[in-house]
A and B are shown apart, each in its own frame.
Chain A
Amino acid sequence: MPINLHLWLVPGLCLAGFLLNLVFGRLWGKSIAGAVGVGFSGLALLAALWVAHRWSGAPYIEPHATWFLAGPLRVSFGLFLDPLSLLMMLIVTGVGFLIHLYSLGYMSEEGGFYRYFSLLNLFLFFMLTLVLAGNYLLLFAGWEGVGFASYILIGFFFRRDAAARAGIKAFVVNRIGDFGFLLGLFLIFARFGSFNYQTVFARAATLPVESGWHGPLTVIALLLLVGALGKSAQLPLYIWLPDAMEGPTPVSALIHAATMVTAGVYMIARSAVIYDHSPAARSLVLAIGALTAIFAASIGVLQRDIKRILAYSTISQIGYMFMACGVAAYGAGVFHLMTHAFFKALLFLGAGSVIHAMHGEQDIFRIRSLAPGGLKRYAPITFWTFVIATCAISGIPGFSGYFSKDLILERVFAATSGAGRIWWALGLVAAFLTAFYMFRALFVTFFPAPAGAPESAAHPTGQEPAGAAAAGGHGNPENAPRHALPHESPAVMTIPLLGLAVLAALGGYLNWGDRLLHFLAPAFSPTPNAVAYRPLPPFLTAGVQHALMALTIAVALGGLLLAWVLYRRRPRAAAQWAEAVPGLYRLVFNKYWVDEFFDAVLITPLRAISHWVLWRGVDDGLIAGSLRGIGGGLLKTSDGLRRQISGSLRSYAAWIAAGACAAVIYMGWLTLR
């Protein structure tokens, strides 16, 4: 009998914080509401550490009340702890706590303080439910819950149409993903008769590895992938994430960078057994990951809004994690997930600090022009932590991101051959672009403008980017006077920055000697004894490994160098290059017109149907019909052509008669044939 870990305490504490603030928050002042919010997330972190301390290392199931029982369908609230969920739990509570702390300072001027903290706690509760769930259905519940919490948080504090639309967009796109996910879940149940991880994986492990695209496990894997694409903002369902940046910056840091968006990766890693049985599905994961990585990175190159740059870099980095999962290197993917959580949270919090310092300005070029002598003079802690994070994400050797990204590229290289190496090459190019645009952001934001730099960077078309223009000025609703000088953030904001900076700098060493991979390995294999830590293929000798490593380093430094040249040394060159290929520039600058494409293909027809057929037809018809009184005749709609549906009583009767006629024809055909 294993000791009782009281795993439920971890999400339970967050739920308690949520409820307390929800019920009493209005009565409390800001200080108590903040203390409760931060305190309970801190307690959750302590509980998580306590659990980690007492955990024996064997997979641990904590059964709780049956949630749902209907015929063969039995789902419990059971929680589950294994290396993977332990790591995720620590990431979520650790990063979550720091961001809570940071929010104390960042949101101090905002209204609805208690509501913000209660929702943030609610988000943590759902996220912990997601990672600690013992079955797919509870995972799905957490999955939906984080989506909802994020949707509310995006829209809550920003009474702007853009925020409201972004919230809905996020939710609807996620529903598309969830649709696939749910379908996958039903297939899992149909196939294995259970939602429980243990049962499903044990049964799946006995099935043969499938070839081709038609095997049941492949179909399940593909459907789960659809869900993961939505949640983790991968091609083609990534469109919601950049818009989600309308929310408060700590929310972006917590939800849209560190935790929620990586849930897709977690889910795929959790379903490792299923993906192991389907090379076809894995190859798709790899391709999507690589394409997303390069696609998003190339968009990031030309963005001007600091939060948008980070949003695209998030999408791109998650692409790496998908690539890792695509070559069955789940451990490497989760490793990158962890380091990414550290440095991306740091980047966002740093960006928040910058925005805070600049009184709401988000356009990096304007920040530069508004901070004479460079922002680094005014906000040194923010600057130095931002430097660390930028080095980490760019893969500068010694920083955390370097270890995980190098590992992923190495595994992708090892697992592919021939034409398959294209994915590896794409990953490498994306790494170059990442280093370039992140250092571009760093140089432009924090350094003074070099002599001879155009005031507003290169704009061959002369147009002001819509996103930057909209975001500039009201990113933070409380707008201090614009002429105030930039200032460093208060300690309550810089302490989390420093904490995360340590993690971002040193987090990579957790995997020293592949320790983390060994630790995680049991989570990816169903049977305790199987060796899931995959040995490297023989051609990957130490020499090749070192060559790859050198290549990664060279690419990262190359990106750094290019950014330095373009934005520090020869500021005119960037504009000249852009002028040389205006078409490409515009294409990339406008994010490949993907949003417009989606609008044209999906949203517009749906709206048109709803508008013209149902609204103009039925609805207008009805209102006009009732004005004329019952029995009033045909409605003359404005265009005079659409007279199918009048909204009058008689046409309703005609509908019913027609329906009855159809039913009777069908049944009559049965009896008279």
Chain B
Amino acid sequence: MASSRFAHPSRRLPALLLLGLGVALAAPQAKAAGTLNVLTWCDHEDPTLLQPFEAANGVKVNFKDIGSTADALAILGQSKPGDWDVIVLDETDTGRLERMGLLAPLDRADYPFATIPAAIANPKLTSVDGTLYTVPEKFGYNTVAFNTSAVSPTAMANIQAPWDPKYKGRVAVYDYYVPEIQYAALALGMNPDKITPAEFPALKTKLLALKANAAMVGDVTTVQQALTTGAVDILVGGGEWVTAGIQADSPNLTYTIPSQGGIRWQQGLGIFAASKDKPLGVKFIQYILSPVGQAKLATSSCYWGMPANTQAALTPAQKADLRWDNQPTYIKDSYPYIQMTPTLDKQLQALWAEVMQGK
């Protein structure tokens, strides 16, 4: 149960203290009728995305920006059950949130699964024990983004390229350890879906070599800035989320999936088990999965990504920027984020810390 996380005897005092402060700061001021409360990433916050849904349903979407599922859990810990209706999440966390009792089961028939590629609709990411809990809405890649005026697309088609000494000091590495470790696993010919501690030494060596060739390892903002300003030419871990939205200003920036494959991120929508307005949550997900909603979400001002629904109403130019025609191959050649447990996550974090501290 979700509440068990916050009801452990040793946590009652902190929970009480946090509740007073947190409810005031984070939770919706009041669960007004006709309001849908959504914990969302920045790409769902454009008025042009939300207003058609609000107008069609006569409701207000009250959103709270989160950067990760951990942020959402922190906010939930400070809110009353039922304060929040819908969550946008990294779909590798579907099982984790379901085990905590936070997600409501969904009816597959309510959503356009017929037009979502089978690999994206993968039950491993969306379901637990055959029950659907999240609906995929957007995906993309953590592979390699680069500046075509400095490096050749042919060279970048080889996953080993960022390790090439001729690019020393021209490489940036995105600091999210999960896709980076999986990407290094791919480069070593390992299965990135099944990383085990026995493979950590080889992964560490490979990642240390990447770090030695890199100018920097940084967060989203830092690596994006480095690539767009020309401080680096190659971004390992980059993808359409870095390059597609800025094609008009930076047509020389692009991304690819190397012949050896890449890593795929995927976000989805779920409804909280404690939501007091699940039917409205269902309508919201249906709207986001509609061709119009998908087009607006895919081209969000925050970051672009591939819409899960192949019927998304994108323009030919937008499709070109997203490498629409390459998607069947890209999906086939990419692996979703590894299914995480707290133990594996601690192990991967420790491995990443060892790489960052290593010379």
Chain B associates with chain A:
no
Which B residues lie at the A interface, using CB under 8 A? Answer: none
Which A residues lie at the B interface, using CB under 8 A? Answer: none
